[in-house]
Structure 1
């Protein structure tokens, strides 16, 4: 199973008055990790969108374990947790520079046609993505 690793330096604007990262920033960091993973798999969100396909989040679940703080460098590990030809579930593990787990979680996505926002089959409409995601799914099993 491929795990993408993305490092982020915690910026002051991402924290509250106590220097603790606001919970909403982890969702943004997951997006960065997911985009990085997709790029490492050989694909590009922007190209998919220019072809009229979007990939909205249908569910997100994050468990906050330990606060990341201003000045920390966090590492986001991202992988394909599940894939069924329609839905993709990405997994995330975010740790601080000391290796302490800060957040774990998943996000679920479907692909939709931009003009109608109706779901499409990744298997049928994005066969190259499907082949790679199937390969990654088998690596998880």
Structure 2
């Protein structure tokens, strides 16, 4: 199973009055991790959009364990939790520079046509993506 890793240096602007990373920034970091994961599989979100397909979030969860602070580095680990051919559920872990678990989460996505927002079958429209995601699912369960 592929687990992609991306790193983000915590910037001052990402912290709140308490000096810790503002919770919504973790959702942005999930996106950074997801984009890195897709790139590691050999694909491109940008190319998908050029092909007229979007991948909106339909559900998202985050569980905050330990705060990150300014000057630390967030390590974002991303993988495929579930894949049905229509929906993809990505799993995430964010760790600090001491490798302490700070956040866990997941996001669920579907692919839709840009002009109509109608769902599409990943298997039919992007057979290479489908095969790669099926392979990730089988590796996880196997």
Band of TM-score, shorter chain: over 0.9
Question: What residue number does 1:88 align with?
Answer: 88
Cα distance between partner residues in 2 of 1:17 and 1:112:
38
The CA distance in 2 between the partners of 1:48 and 1:7, in whole Å, is 24
Give the Cα–Cα distance (whole angstroms) in 2 for the partners of residues 62 and 100 of structure 1.
16
Q: Once the two structures are superposed, what CA deviation does each residue of 1:52-106 show, in whole Å capped at 9, x if it has no partner?
A: 0000000001101110111111100000110010000000000111111110010
- Superposed CA deviations along residues 103-139 of structure 1, whole A, max 9, x for unmatched, are 0010000000001001111011110100000001101
Verify: 1:111 aligned to 2:111, yes or no. Answer: yes
Structure 1 runs not aligned, ≥5 long = none
Structure 1 match to 2:60: 60
Question: Size of the alignment, in residue pairs?
Answer: 141
Aligned twin of 1:72: 72
Secondary structure of the residue aligned to 2:16 is coil
Structure 2 unmatched ranges of 5 or more: none
Counterpart of 2:135 in structure 1 is 135
Please give the TM-score of this superposition, normalised by the length of structure 1: 0.98
What's the offset of the Cα at 1:17? 2.1
2:10 paired with 1:20:
no
Hey, what's the Cα distance between the residues in 2 that align with 1:131 and 1:99? 32
**4+ long deviations beyond 2 Å:** none
d(CA) in 1 for partners of 2:57 and 2:18? Answer: 30
SS in 2 for 1:119: coil
Task: Work out the CA distance in 2 between the residues paired with 1:49 and 1:8.
Answer: 24
